[in-house]
């Protein structure tokens, strides 16, 4: 298994490189825009922000005096310490503090929705291929593709309208009732679940089609392979063939794709949060856009990127367990 460890180490190195690229992008983007970033900012915010706020902003972006490379090193050292600067919209709170709270809610919402959609989608996709020509195979991919063609947040809007506004079954906004105190109580947990149900459901529904289709197509290919036919010839029971010979082999591309789909689904989750005023990263994102709060925007970008990279590395570890050939 030491080969597996070296595989994981190489992947970790790649993700570190990607993280570095993200940080460097954060550094370079303000400087690549037309005009000198300092004067651009001054022009934008003059009259709106106090001098201390503007100073804090310059410091966050590393716009100190000095050559570019020294600015870069300063910026890098700040980021590596966890100092993402000071927020403009929530001045004088530091960006890391503003983000910190929202991160949990986003992970809760997007994480659960992703896991459910993946599990349900791959299972249904495998069954669709197993029962070829059945209703699952012929109608489900089309229907779910149609549902997935709607923007995630639009589905959220429809859900809020139908089930929240008209039916009153689900709350329209926020993560839990304003009357309840946060804490490890049953009432709190119930309220959280009640508020998370609708956003999570729309996310699952919107992303289900992709998982289903990928798994179904891969499964169709695997079912035609020699080792499956040979397993049938050996008289193995259908359930065993479905699980261990077909589905487990067909799962591999879906798992590999999981990492990439993660970023995509996360984007959808962010926009969905906005519709529900769910206090996660998405909500912070739109606040930061409205207030032109660049430090917060860039802070969110970095945080989300790091989370996605970490999740990708976990997926690599899972692939290692599932596919003995990668351990060689």
Partner 1 sequence: MAEAGPLLQVRGLCVSYGAVRAVDGVDLEVFPGEILGLVGESGSGKSTLVGAVLRTLAPPGAITAGQVWFDGQDVLAMEPEPLRAFRWSEVSLVPQSAQSALNPILTVQAQLVGTLCAHGVSARAARARAPELLAQVGLDPSHCRSYPHQLSGGMRQRVVLALALALRPRLVVLDEPTTALDVVVEREILRHLLALQRSLGFAVVFVTHDLPLLQMLASRIGVLYAGQLVEIGPAGVLGSGGLHPYTRGLVGSILPRPGQAGVPRSIPGGPPGPDVVGCPFHPRCPLAEERCHQDRPPLRTRHLGQAVACHVVR
Partner 2 sequence: MTGARWYKALWANPKSRVGLVVVVAFALLAVVGPWLVGDPTAFLAVPHQPPSTAHWLGTTGQGQDVLAQTVAGARPTLAVGVLTGLLVVGFGAVTGGAAGFWGGRVDDALSLLINVFLVLPGLPLMVVVAAWLPPGPATMTAVLVLTGWAWNARVLRSQVRSLRERDFVAAAVVSGESGVRILVAEILPNMASLIASAFIGATVYAIGAQVGLEFLGLGDPSAVTWGTNLYWASNDSALLTGAWWTFVPTGVGVALVGFGLVLVNFGIDEITNPRLATPTTGGGDG
Pair of tokens at residue 254: 């879906």
Task: Give the SS3 label for residue 36.
Answer: coil
Pair of tokens at residue 24: 């460097």
Does 311 sit behind a cis peptide bond, omega within 30 degrees of 0 on the bond before it?
no
Nearer to partner 1 among residue 112 and residue 326 (C-beta): 326
Which residue from 229, 264, 314, 318 is in contact with partner 1, where contact means CB under 8 A? 229
User: Among residue numbers 11 through 70, which ones bind partner 1 (CB under 8 A)?
Assistant: none
> What is the spatial distance between Cα 268 and Cα 164, in angstroms, rounded to a whole number?
20
Nearer to partner 1 among residue 123 and residue 236 (C-beta): 236
Kindly report the three-state secondary structure assignment for every residue of 224-242.
CCHHHHHHHHCCCCHHHHH
Task: Give the SS3 label for residue 258.
Answer: helix
The string over 269-289, giving b where at least 16 C-beta atoms fall within 10 Å of a residue's C-beta and e elsewhere, is bbbbbbbbebbbbbbbbebbe
User: Among residue numbers 237 through 276, which ones bind partner 1 (CB under 8 A)?
Assistant: 237, 240, 244-245, 248-249
* 172 binds, options partner 1, partner 2, none, Cβ within 5 to 8 A by partner type: partner 2
CA distances from 55 to 84, 260, 291, 325 (A): 15, 38, 17, 55
Residue 327 binds partner 2 (CB under 8 A): no
Residue given tokens 């999981």 in the structure block: 258
User: Among residue numbers 213 through 272, which ones bind partner 2 (CB under 8 A)?
Assistant: 217, 220-221, 224, 232-233, 259-260, 262-264, 266-267, 270-271
Nearer to partner 2 among residue 42 and residue 150 (C-beta): 150
Which residue in 13, 107, 128 sits closest to 304, CA to CA?
Answer: 107
Number of residues that bind partner 2 (CB under 8 A): 64
Residue 227 binds partner 1 (CB under 8 A): yes
> What is the spatial distance between Cα 156 and Cα 12, in angstroms, rounded to a whole number?
35
Looking at 63-71, 100-108, 220-228, 256-264, which segment touches partner 1 (CB under 8 A)? 220-228
The footprint of partner 2 (CB under 8 A) covers 14-15, 17-18, 21-22, 25-26, 29-30, 33, 132-133, 137-138, 142, 145-146, 149-154, 157-158, 160-161, 164-166, 172, 217, 220-221, 224, 232-233, 259-260, 262-264, 266-267, 270-271, 274-275, 285-286, 289-290, 292, 294, 297-298, 300-301, 304-305, 308-309, 312
């Amino acid at each position: 298994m030491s080969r597996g460890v070296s595989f994981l180490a190489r992947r970790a190195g790649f993700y570190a490189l990607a993280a570095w690229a993200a940080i460097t992008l954060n550094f370079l983007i303000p400087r690549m825009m037309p005009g000198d970033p300092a004067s651009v900012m001054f022009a934008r915010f003059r009259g709106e922000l106090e001098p201390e706020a503007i100073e804090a902003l310059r410091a966050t972006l590393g716009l100190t005096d000095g050559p570019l490379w020294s600015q870069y090193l300063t910026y890098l050292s700040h980021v590596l310490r966890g100092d993402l600067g000071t927020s403009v919209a929530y001045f004088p709170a530091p960006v890391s503090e503003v983000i910190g709270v929202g991160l949990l809610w986003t992970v809760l919402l997007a994480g659960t929705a992703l896991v459910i959609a993946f599990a349900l989608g791959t299972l249904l996709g495998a069954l669709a291929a197993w029962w070829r020509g059945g209703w699952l195979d012929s109608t489900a991919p089309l229907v779910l593709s149609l549902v997935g063609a709607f923007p995630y947040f639009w589905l959220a809007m429809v859900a809020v309208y139908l089930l929240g506004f008209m039916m009153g079954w689900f709350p329209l906004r926020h993560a839990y009732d304003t009357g309840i105190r946060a804490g490890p109580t049953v009432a709190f947990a119930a309220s959280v679940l009640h508020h998370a149900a609708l956003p999570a459901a729309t996310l699952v529904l919107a992303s289900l089609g992709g998982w289903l289709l990928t798994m179904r197509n891969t499964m169709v290919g695997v079912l035609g392979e020699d080792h499956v036919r040979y397993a049938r010839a050996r008289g193995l029971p259908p359930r065993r063939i479905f699980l261990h010979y077909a589905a487990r082999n067909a799962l591999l591309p879906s798992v590999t794709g999981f990492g990439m789909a993660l970023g995509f689904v996360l984007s959808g989750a962010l926009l969905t949060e906005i519709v529900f005023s769910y206090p996660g990263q998405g909500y912070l994102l739109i606040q930061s856009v409205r207030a032109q709060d660049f430090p917060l925007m860039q802070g969110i970008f970095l945080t989300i990127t790091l989370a996605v990279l970490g999740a990708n590395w976990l997926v690599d570890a899972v692939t290692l367990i599932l596919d003995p050939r990668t351990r060689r």
